[in-house]
Amino acid sequence: MIIYVEITPSDTISLDVQSTDTIKTVKEHMKAENEMFSPPFLLYLANTLLDDGRTLSSYNVGTNAKLRFELDQDFKVLK
């Protein structure tokens, strides 16, 4: 199924995923397609933070659903 991830209000990407994919798997698909997704990031459905261990179907994410991308503000670069 195709879902969409809003990166910015004017930039959205599409992903071909399965309903049984975990959120972690979706993030890995995103990282494989674009290095921009290398830092830790979060995905939201509406205002719900999606947990890496749960599947898309556990959140009732279906075809043409739109998720929201956000950088993880707790991520710290160690020097």
Domain parsing of the chain, residue ranges: 2-71
Rounded alpha-carbon distances, angstroms, from residue 49 to 5, 29, 35, 45, 77? 14, 18, 22, 7, 23
pLDDT at 77: 47
pTM comes to 0.86
Q: Which tens digit of pLDDT belongs to each residue from 32-70?
A: 888 777 778 999 999 999 999 999 999 999 999 999 999
pLDDT at 23 over 60: yes
CA–CA distance, 57 with 22 (Å, rounded to integer): 9
> What fold is seen in the domain 2-71?
Ubiquitin-like (UB roll) (3.10.20)
| Sequence-separated (6 or more) residues with CB below 8 Å from residue 43 | 5, 23, 26, 27, 49, 50, 67, 68, 69, 70
